[in-house]
Structure 1
Amino acid sequence: MQKGAWKKRINSQLENLGTYSPEYSVAVDSLADALAQYDSTMKQWRDSSKANGFKTLQMVVEYTNKAGATNLSRSPYYIITVQLRDQIMKYCKELGLSPTSLSKTTEVSGKKGDELDEFMSRFK
């Protein structure tokens, strides 16, 4: 998916959660960029693996160093996707788009506390 489509999707999710704010535009833009890069990297990784005759993604590749020795090394695609996943999760947490961060956001806003207080007041 392209960056613009990701931005629309993220903003839509924020609106559905009731947490959208124009002030989040920088974080939304960064998250959309990371997601678009992730999609592109995954496509390149799949294409590269298929071109080399693999049915699944190659996690390791052969690497020949300057001395001519061949070793197994982690795939550059694997390394990039792990980094992008970490970055994506950080932005999702920042924007309240993960279950944990959303629950913390609703607790801070008092929504959960009000319901809990009401429930607990029945037993006093």
Structure 2
Amino acid sequence: MQEKMKTKKQYRNLIVREMKSLGTYKKEYNELIDIYAGMLHQYQYFEKQFEESGYQITEEYTNKAGATNQRKVPLLTAMESLRKDIISYSDRLCLNPKTLLEPPKQENKGSPLDAFLAANG
């Protein structure tokens, strides 16, 4: 049985729930969350279209000069680009294993010598 497509709002609610569960949610992230939810919804829609096309990867294309060649279908190109954006946003929102395993980046607070002296002084 095919799963029903999620709405953008359903994705948004799921993202917020996951972020709260991980302890990374802040209301200041809502705009990023909305964009990320939209990308997930869009990807889901593209995925359905790709399946319905029989997973067609290439198509014949005739250029302005009249030459006919094979080219990657635009849908697949859009999906590849969207995947990269989804990964980037999932990093920013701390929603993937990579970001959970990396220690948080520390702000530069003085020189290493100052830090050493403070710790050993």
Range into which the TM-score falls when normalised by the shorter chain: 0.7 to 0.9
Amino acid of the structure 2 residue aligned with 1:99: P
TM-score by length of 1: 0.75
In structure 2, distance between residues paired with 1:72 and 1:2: 34
Amino acid of the structure 1 residue aligned with 2:62: T
Matched, 1:14 2:19: yes
Matched, 1:66 2:71: no
Aligned to 1:39, which of 44, 63, 68?
A: 44
Q: CA deviation at 1:20?
A: 1.1
In structure 1, distance between residues paired with 2:16 and 2:76: 29
Residue of structure 1 in register with 2:117 after alignment: none
Residue of structure 1 in register with 2:29 after alignment: 24
Amino acid of the structure 1 residue aligned with 2:104: V
Q: CA deviation at 1:9?
A: 0.7
In structure 1, distance between residues paired with 2:93 and 2:11: 14
Aligned to 2:104, which of 99, 108, 112?
A: 108
Q: CA deviation at 1:66?
A: 2.5
Q: % of aligned pairs identical?
A: 36
Q: CA RMSD in A?
A: 1.5
Residue of structure 1 in register with 2:112 after alignment: none
Residue of structure 1 in register with 2:78 after alignment: 80
Residue of structure 1 in register with 2:7 after alignment: 2
Report the 3-state secondary structure (helix = DSSP H, G, I; strand = E; otherwise coil) of the residue aligned with 2:25. Answer: coil
TM-score by length of 2: 0.76
Residue of structure 2 in register with 1:53 after alignment: none
- Give unmatched runs, 5+ long, in structure 1: 51-56, 110-124
Aligned residues: 100
Report the 3-state secondary structure (helix = DSSP H, G, I; strand = E; otherwise coil) of the residue aligned with 2:104. Answer: helix
Report the 3-state secondary structure (helix = DSSP H, G, I; strand = E; otherwise coil) of the residue aligned with 1:97. Answer: coil
In structure 2, distance between residues paired with 1:101 and 1:61: 38
